[in-house]
Amino acid sequence: MKCQSTRFGTLDVKDESLLVFPSGILGFPDWTKYVMLDHDTDAPFKWLQCVEEPQLAFVILDPAYFKPDYQITVTTDALIEIQKQDDDELSVVTILTIPSDDPSAVTANLRGPLVMNHRTRLCKQLVLSEDLPTRYPLFTPSAQSHAFAVAV
């Protein structure tokens, strides 16, 4: 499938690389199909590019890179939506906000992480009720690369 992107031009996206958000992403419920693209550098950042809307793309990052103690609980409803089975591997990423006037002030949305099922390629944005910030600063003295836990 051919996908247009305002950032990356025309992309050839294989069906098996599509990520589907049946409920969409907050603020964008009508667009459900995305592809994950590597950033051009060695940085751990990735792009989540919508294949249905060329202008819609998010910068995402595994929270283990900046908040090693980040833990979430995935609800049963969310697990059903992404069709999780016992042996399925899940991953979690956060959407970043990068201010154009100060890229060093990048923040992560810890309250609305994205959960991805590697087998089904179904994804869900969670809305956590915990008191987690939507604008957690990435570049803090304690930012380091460690593992995190996903409770299911």
Q: What token pair was written down for 82?
A: 């992404």
d(CA 60, CA 83): 22
Q: What is the CA radius of gyration of the chain?
A: 15
Is 94:64 a contact under the CB 8 Å cutoff? no
CATH number at residue 114: 2.30.290.10
**Residue 114 confidence (pLDDT):** 98
Say how many Å lie between the first and final Cα of the chain, rounded.
Answer: 34
Domain count, the chain: 1
Higher pLDDT, 35 or 43: 35
Label residue 147 by pLDDT band (50, 70, 90): very low
Quickly tell me which residue has 């016992």 as its tokens. Answer: 86
d(CA 94, CA 136): 10
- What does pTM read for this prediction? 0.86
Say yes or no to pLDDT of 110 above 50: yes
Q: What is the mean pLDDT of residues 106-123?
A: 97
**Residue 139 confidence (pLDDT):** 79
Paired with 1 in beta bridges are none
**Residue 151 confidence (pLDDT):** 45
Structural domain for 142, as ranges: 2-151
